Every structure is written in structure tokens, then in C-alpha cells.
Amino acid sequence: MRHYKVIVIGGGPSGITCGYYLKQRGLDYLIIEKEEMLHTWKNERWDSFYLVTPNWMTHLPGLENEIPYNNEYMSKSEILAILERYQKFVNPVYVENTVIQEIVLEGSVYKVYTNKGDYCCDHIIVASGMYSEPFIPKVSEKIPAEINQMHSSDYKNPCQMTPGNVVVVGSGWSGVQIALELKKALQNEVYLSIGSLSPLPVVYKNVHGVYWLNRLSGYANVNPILNYKKEDFTNPNILHKMGQNMVECQKNGVHLVGRLLDREGNKLIFNDNIRSVFKEAEKYIDTAKQKIDALIEKEHITTGGNEFDLRLDRVDLDAITPLAELDITAHHITNIVWSTGFRRNYSYIKRPIFDENGLPLLIDGVATTENITFCGLELEVDRNIRSAFGVGLYAINESSKRAVDYIKL
């Protein structure tokens, strides 16, 4: 059984960045990836995908000079090319298509059993991120077999839809972008099912909103702020990306409906509280702004004004007709895209470091009571400000370095 000082679980950007810092420290390590390296970025993004964050918010140590420092957005092919160059630059030690079946502790050594042989190590870094397993609600099991269903991780383009109308379930960035793309491409009826909203201002204090989420979540060792300028809002690339939002969905005829609750007979049942969902979102975003303002004052952050601040989630509530049910046949519903996120699964780690929901009990958001650390998880400020955003390519450097720094020599 080959022994390593560190085993890193996950061959995505987080795992590769851990490899970068482990190599700097001269530590013997192995990355174990259950698919192929960078699998999610190669295989689980739709064709027209663009990063949520602008170029200046992509920070990969060692490749800083190869990434444009501007407010444009990278396409799927552009970011994949960058990540593949990054992997080549780091040149990590890894095995692919290797599924971990069980991790146990024997004495002071972790034994890692896989489908392709076994390993042991002194320390484990879990860098598998937030996107371990696609999550589809149980109500999907009640949907008639003839309806074409897929998770957003399997969605590539509108050609996958069967003739007829579409329900997109989930109102995060993926759900909004997919619903808008389907509406524009197919010109059929598209329904966007919204369970809850935790919006950020797209631009606040002339800076991208996700920057502030990173700062509020404790990531500060990052690139300097790049403010938006007037000319940014004549840039086709920036306008295209910012045009993927809830307001544009409504303008283009996407039907905004409440949470999909059930199927009864030939009907899909929705919560008809869609207007109150948007009203609650107003309270959420006000709280977020208050916290950003407090952070700016506390840390003396220099900002460039607010003339370009943007809210792209303010739909016309009076134009929304609350919908309680949708007849599958009468409305010719033939497709459902589940943009309902992912669930993490750590059941293979047989150690008492998880809560009743199977999530890690973390110290400082990284460490556990054992020699197991985590990186690349969610950005979370507090109980009042939660987000579907994970540690993205902006804070991935700091997140991975923290996990490596906890390792004792």
C-alpha cells in the first residue's frame, strides 16, 4: 500500500491548487479523481456557458499574467483552456477514474480504499467542492415517463428538448440562463419555477456583487478591486452576460412561477406565493447591502462611487399572475430541466467529523478535529446571508492554501 504524506480528493481547480501549494512545501501527495481531471468543467457545462464572475476575479497562482485583468467574462472554452494550462503548469501527481470506496483511520494513518488499489496517508484534503452529486427533488419520480427530464449538469443546448413546452426548476444562475436560452431559441412556452431567492446586486459600489460576497465570507487575500467604467457598458461581451437575468426572462416571455410542489393526476402543482418570494428577496438584498457598507467602513475599502450599480432581479410583480397548477396536456409540457443544484456526499469517509446531515463540522471553515481539511466549499457570511455560490475561481487560491497550511510536518 503506497504511502503519501497527503491525499487530495478531487481533481478540479481546488485540487490542482492544493497540488501547487503542496509542491511548494515539498510534501509528497497524490490527487485522486473519480472521473477525469477537470471533469466538471469539461463535461457538466452547457455550450453557451459563461463564468458568473468577470475575468479579473479569476485567480490561479502562477498564471496571473495569462488571465486578462478586465470586466469581461470567459466562455466555456476560454475558461477550460485556462484551466488546462493551469493543470499543465502545476503538473500535479494524480490518478483518474479512481473511485474512493472507503477511508478509515488505523492508528495515525488513513487508509484509502479505491476501485483501483489502496493507499495510505497522514493527512487528507477534501477538494471535491460543492458539486459532488446532482440533486433532483423526489417530485421528479411522479412525473410521467413520457416527459423528457434532465438535470442542468446534463443540459448542453436547446436541441436536447423534445417538441413542446418546458419547465425549468430552480432560479439560481443556471436556471435563469437556461430558461432564457430556451425561450429565445425555441420560442415555445417556458416556465421558470422559483422556490426562493437570495439575490446579490449585480454591481454594487461599481464592483461586481460576487466580489462583496467573497469579502463578507472572509476571503481578502485576493486581487485588487477593478471598478466598472462607462465603456464597460458598451462592451458586447459584458452586455451579453449581464443580459442573462430574471428581468430579461420576464421581458422575453418566460413565465415566473412558484416552487414546484407535486404532481396530482395530470397537473403540476406550484406554490402560488411567487410575489411574496420576490418581496422577501428585497429584504435579503437590503441586509446584504448593509453588511457590505459595514465592511467597507470597517476595513477602509476604497470604492469608485455607485453610478454603475445594477439590480437585475427587480421584475414587474404586477405583471406576474400567480399560478397554482399547470395541466401537463393542455399546456403541452414535454420537458423539465432540474436546475436544482448538487448535494455533497462524504459517506465514504468513515470518521466522526460530520453533523447529522452528513456535512463536515469545520473549524475556521477549513479544519476538523482530525487530520482532514476541506476547501472549495460554499461562500457563507452568516445565517442571514446564505448563498448558492461556492468558492469560485476568485478565492480558490486562498481556500486551497488554507487547507494546505493546516498540515503539520
Asked if residue 96 has pLDDT above 90, the reply is yes
Q: What are phi and psi of 202, to 5 degrees?
A: -60, -40
Q: What is the pLDDT of residue 178?
A: 97
* Nearest by Cα to 308 from 211, 228, 242: 228
Are 185 and 290 in the same domain?
yes
Q: Supply the pTM of this predicted model.
A: 0.94
Q: Does residue 303 share a domain with residue 251?
A: yes
Return the C-alpha cell found at 286: 437590503
242 and 390 assigned to the same domain: no
Query: Which of 238-242, 348-352, 363-367 reaches the highest mean pLDDT?
Result: 348-352
Q: pLDDT at position 384, please?
A: 63
pLDDT of residue 388: 63
Q: What is the DSSP secondary structure assignment for residue 348, as one 8-state letter?
A: T
For the CA atoms of 131, 133, 136, 138, what is the dihedral angle to 10 degrees?
Answer: -140
Check whether residue 205 and residue 286 sit in a common domain: yes
Q: Are residues 84 and 225 in the same domain?
A: no
Of 378 and 33, the one with more pLDDT: 33
Radius of gyration of the chain (CA): 22
Give the residue-averaged pLDDT of 318-342: 95
Structural domain for 43, as ranges: 2-132+344-405
Mean pLDDT of all residues in 212-229: 86
Give residue 393's pLDDT band: very low, low, confident or very high (50, 70, 90): confident
- Give the per-residue pLDDT at 220: 79
Asked if 246 and 380 sit in the same domain, the reply is: no
- Best CA proximity match to 277, nearest among 332, 327, 320: 320
Q: What is the pLDDT of residue 310?
A: 80
Residue 340 in this model has a pLDDT that exceeds 90: yes
The Cα–Cα gap between 196 and 199 comes to 10
Q: Residue 357 belongs to a domain with what CATH number?
A: 3.50.50.60
Q: Which of 318, 338, 358 is the last residue of a domain?
A: 338
| Domain boundary pick from 282, 313, 338 | 338
SS3 111: strand
- pLDDT given at position 217: 87
The pLDDT score that the predictor gives to residue 131 is 75
- Do 108 and 144 lie in one domain? The reply is no
Residue 181 and residue 320 in one domain: yes
pLDDT, one tens digit per residue, over 26-58 is 999 999 999 999 999 999 999 999 999 999 999
Q: Which residue has 476541506 as its cell numbers?
A: 374
Same domain, 124 and 144: no
What does the pLDDT look like over 174-187, one tens digit per residue? Answer: 999 999 999 999 99
Q: Give yes or no: residues 109 and 169 share one domain.
A: no
Query: Using 50, 70 and 90 to split pLDDT, how confident is the model at 383?
Result: low
Residues 124 and 150 in one domain: no
In the three-class reduction of DSSP (H, G, I as helix; E, B as strand; rest coil), residue 57 is classed as helix
Residue 330 has pLDDT above 90, yes or no: yes
The pLDDT of residue 391 is 73
For 237-292, the pLDDT digits (tens) are 999 999 999 999 999 999 999 999 999 999 999 999 999 999 998 888 898 899 99
Grid cell in block for residue 227: 471598478
Assign 112 to helix, strand or coil. strand
d(CA 293, CA 38): 37
pLDDT on residue 389 = 66
At residue 129, the pLDDT reads: 85
Tens-digit pLDDT profile for residues 281-325: 888 889 889 999 999 999 998 887 888 888 767 889 999 989 999
Task: Tell which of 307, 338, 369 closes a domain.
Answer: 338
Write down the pLDDT at residue 148. Answer: 98
Please state, rounded to an integer, the average pLDDT across all residues of the chain: 93
Instruction: Give the lowest-confidence range in 10-19, 100-109, 289-298, 329-338.
Output: 289-298
Q: Which residue has 476547501 as its cell numbers?
A: 375
Once rounded to an integer, what is the mean pLDDT over residues 213-240? Answer: 89
- Give the span between the Cα atoms of 336 and 161, in whole angstroms: 9
- C-alpha–C-alpha distance, residues 249 and 54, integer Å: 22
Strands (E), 75-156: 94-95, 100-106, 109-114, 117-126, 133-134, 148-151
Indicate if 332 and 189 belong to the same structural domain: yes
Among the residue ranges 4-8, 11-15, 30-34, 217-221, the one predicted with the least confidence is 217-221
For residue 394, pLDDT over 90 is answered with: no
pLDDT for 385: 62
Q: Which three cell numbers stand for residue 146?
A: 413520457
| Beta carbons within 8 Å of 358's beta carbon, 6+ residues apart | 344, 345, 346, 347
In the chain, the number of structural domains is: 2
Identify the pLDDT of residue 386. Answer: 62
